[in-house]
Structures are given as structure tokens and as C-alpha cells.
Amino acid sequence: MLLYNQVPVRVTESFILSGYRFPDYSFAECLLSAFQPTNETGNFWTHFLAVFVFAFSFLEVFLWDRSLALTDPFYYPFWSYFIGVCGLLLVSSMAHLLNSMSLLIRELCFFIDYGTISSYTVGSSLAYFYYINPRVRWLFEALYVPAACVIALVCTLACCNTRQQWRRHRYVIRTAVFLLPFLVVSVPIFYQLYVGVKNSSTALFFFRHCFWLVVSGAFNISKIPERFSPGKFDIWGHSHQWFHFCTFMSILDELHMIKAEI
């Protein structure tokens, strides 16, 4: 593993001094690095293992009640949400694992990663739209899902651009565009809170969902704890791993909220 001054500047992360892989790994070496102490090892496992936790939590709906049909059209938005989340977690983990093959592949990995965030946004909007129905449904039919798609596309382009420009403020911009879709997608919940949510579980899970999102954004921007002790958290415990953990916890509470509405 290499120090920050032994790899290209584009590969380095703020306050991470060691544990870097030089961008000329083979595919097999990248796979092997999942079991080696690098600064990407924790980033890989925090989202790769989360796929299985999420899949089990998702399938609980059908395991509890065997009378529910997996192919029932009623659950199509739920499956869209499932595909969006699993795509996000899988692609994110693979992006962190395979990005050291070359500088070009590194950029492509994270471009695709940002794209899956948008697919997750659209999947969430479909689940919110069909299961959390506002009284002004006619307005949402015309604006809500199209707006979520447009916002998702804009945010993807903005995130990709931070890898070429605006690099000085890249963490702030990426966090902002990560939270912006949440504000748009959550409009049905905000409306339900405004008129009074009948299902108390929905409100509880939504507030927890918001809490984890705010904490994840704080980790991503502040670069705590490595900011206060550069070099100590290079392999385990740095902010991006906490960012992954908190975003997954927010997704898990979001899943519980949607399940409570089905």
C-alpha cells in the first residue's frame, strides 16, 4: 500500500495519508484487495454486506405472509424501489473495489455510481407515489414523478462534474445534490405530516430516515474523524465509511416506512 504522495493527486482523499492502491491493478488484484487493509476496504464492505441485510428486510414482507404473490402488480413499485436500492449498494461497493485499475476506469466507476443514486431516487419516488397517497393526487400525477426524474438527472450530472471541475468544493456539492432528491421525493411525506399522519409508524421511521441522512451529510462534509487525526483512520473508521453506514441506516428506515404503508 502506498502513501498519498506516491499516487496521482486525483486519487487522494483529504486527510487520508496511506493505504492507497496505485491505479494499475488488474481485475484479480482488485478483487483480492477486498481482503487487504486499504483505504477502500471498509468502503467496499459497508455497502456490499448491506445488500444482503436490505434484501432480507425487503423479503420479510413476503416471508411473513405466504399468501402474498411476488408477481402481484400491486408490488411493482416496491420491486422498483428494491432494484434501485440494490443497484445503488452493489455499484457503490464495486466502484470502491475496482477503481484502481486505471484513472479512466476510476472515473467511469464513480460516474456509474452517481447514476445509480439517481435510479434509487426514481425507485423511491415510485414507492412514495403509489403507497403514500396525498389527497391532491391529480397534482402529483402531473408533476411528482417527472420532477423526481429531472432532479435525479441534474444531480447525476452535477456529481459527475465535480470530478472534473469544482474539486475544491466537491464534498459540499456532492452532499448537497445527494440531499436535494430527498427533499423532492419526500413531498408526499411532508404533506402527510402537514395534514396529520394517521400511521404513527410512518412519522417515526421518516424522522429517523431524516436523522441518518443529516448525520451522513455531516460526515461527508466535515471529514471527521480523520480531519482531527490525519493518518490514524486511513484504513478503518474514516468519514466515508461512516457516510456509507449512515446512508444505509437511512435507507433501512425508509424501507420500514414504506412497508408500514403497504
Q: Are 204 and 250 in contact (CB under 8 A)?
A: no
Annotated binding site for Zn(2+): 96, 240, 244
Q: Are 174 and 217 in contact (CB under 8 A)?
A: no
What is the distance between the alpha carbons of residues 123 and 249, in angstroms, rounded to a whole number? 17
Annotated binding site: 96, 240, 244
Half-sphere exposure of 143 (CA within 13 A, CB side): 9
Long-range contacts of 115-118 (CB under 8 A, 24+ apart): 115/91, 115/156, 116/84, 116/87, 116/88, 116/91, 116/92, 117/88, 117/152, 117/155, 117/156, 117/159, 117/178, 117/181, 118/152, 118/153, 118/155, 118/156, 118/181
